[in-house]
Amino acid sequence: MSKIKPSKGAPYARIMGVGGYRPTRVVPNEVILETIDSSDEWIRSRSGIATRHWASDEETVSMMSVEAAGKAIADAGIDPDQIGGVIVSTVSHFKQTPAVATDIAHRVGAGKPAAFDISAGCAGFGYGLTLAKGMIVEGSAEYVLVIGVERLSDLTDLEDRATAFLFGDGAGAVVVGPAQEPAIGPTVWGSEGDKSETIKQTVAWNDFHIGDVSNLPLNERGKVKFPAITQEGQAVFRWAVFEMAKVAQQALEAAGISPEDLDVFIPHQANMRIIDSMVKTLKLPDHVTVARDVETTGNTSAASIPLAMERLLATGQAKSGDTALIIGFGAGLVYAATVVTLP
């Protein structure tokens, strides 16, 4: 018989507050067209993107996260020193160690929480939310700060016609805390590693570091290109539309609700065509509000779902207590979907 005492966590967990940060610089498609042979009409028709935000030198991963986190903490109505965990999902913090979560925890005044980074691409927010829920129910933290943050402009090849227009920068954060009734449903998550080549970094950091540039890609000026994100657009599109609609349906079933019970749908803001196709495949009713933040924010990977959530609530398109389906999917290929009650 085990001598370990049972955990004394909360019965359930919920999102208590949300915050976002978008860099001040707004970049229209015309800027992207300076380096690729395309048109504004083509970019809009392929992705739905008209503008995106790019960070300045001062708008670091840490700075953007602190700004978003501060808003989420205030929205939740708690003191920073009550936070027992900080989870940051990002692929664009270039220091291998220490985790940027530790710096963010210190800068928001969180005391001595558990703090760590995760790398789950565009599904990272869903992964972090699931881990936070587990920490609260298990009892190792009362409140957990979950942040999705990216500076994808640092990983964008502006000469790549297939991806140059896609990516933006920003940070989204939520505070997850205890609840007396279910407010974050079961997570349907997973990976398909056999498709890992469809979204990837062009060059490994160690290859870039070694100094032998003979096998590294060069730009039009003959200089070695900085590592960037590349993808097989059609393969990713088909996977997202058909396979992720199935995952979204599984998340609804796991939460015990139907599309008619939904108020809001917040998919990863990858591409407007993907979003519209998923809405059609899921047969969402007309009353369901659909996040389409991608038009003015671009694809911000792990930050896209909390940023879209924050905007919907701030503009009144969604309200506190609404039932929302969220789903993230991306490099790995990885995915995570769940149903939540909005803060």
Q: Tell me how far apart the alpha carbons of residues 274 and 267 are, in angstroms, rounded to a whole number.
A: 9
Please identify which residue in the block is written with the tokens 């609609």. 245
Query: Left if phi > 0, otherwise alpha if psi is -120 to 50, otherwise beta: which for 157?
Result: beta
CA dist., res. 118 & res. 121, Å (int): 9
- Round to whole Å and give the CA distance between 301 and 328: 9
Q: What is the CA radius of gyration of the chain?
A: 20
With tokens 């896209």, the residue in question is 304
Query: Can you list the alpha helix ranges (DSSP code H) found in the chain?
Result: 29-32, 40-47, 61-76, 100-107, 124-138, 205-210, 233-238, 244-255, 272-282, 294-297, 304-315
Determine the residue type at 220: E
Closest CA to 224 of 237, 236, 209: 209
Which residues does the annotation mark as catalytic? 122, 268, 299
